[in-house]
Amino acid sequence: MGKRVVFLKQLPSGLLLVTGPFKVNGVPLRRVNQSYVIGTSTKVDISGVNVEKFDDKYFKKEAKKKKTKTEGEFFESEKEEKKTLPQEKKDDQKAVDGALIKAIEAVPDLKAYLGARFSLRSGMKPHELVF
């Protein structure tokens, strides 16, 4: 089962920048390979959304140096700290979602459409579906 998202832009690497918005269906700002996406005819006005700052560098993870553990440290399985999202990324998500939710609420039933999952049921022929 797949989730419905809003396409924001294509990144220089060829990946697609999409968002749920997070408040509607739990999908954050993320990059997705084109082969995992099915385009539909549904349109959302994203003219009020500023996506200039989002590029491949924005999503790059910080490089971590691996430490060699001694035998005692190896068997002491300390619980690692839970990774938290930086406040800057949370603010960026809220800024994008705020502008996008206004556009979504202007169209009747669009919020429910985006919140629903996509799945095929028995008897549905994917090659005959009109998106």
**Is position 37 within any domain?**
yes
Written as six digits, the tokens of 85 are 């999202």
If you average pLDDT over residues 100-115, what whole number do you get?
Answer: 92
pTM: 0.79
Residue 6's pLDDT band (cuts 50, 70, 90): very high
More confident residue, 32 or 68: 32
**Sequence letter at residue 104:** I
User: What is the tally of structural domains in the chain?
Assistant: 1
**Is position 35 within any domain?**
yes
If you average pLDDT over residues 108-127, what whole number do you get?
Answer: 88
Q: State pLDDT tens for residues 49-76.
A: 999 999 999 988 877 777 777 777 666 6
**Is position 122 within any domain?**
no
Q: With 70 as the cut, is the pLDDT of residue 85 above it?
A: yes
**Is position 76 within any domain?**
no
**Is position 75 within any domain?**
no
CA distance 40 to 18: 14
- The pLDDT value recorded for residue 131 is 73
**Is position 11 within any domain?**
yes
- The pLDDT value recorded for residue 93 is 92
Tell me the residue range of the domain where 50 lies.
Answer: 2-59+86-117
Closest CA relative to residue 36, chosen from 54, 12, 58, 14 = 14
CA distance 3 to 116: 7
**Is position 73 within any domain?**
no
**Is position 92 within any domain?**
yes
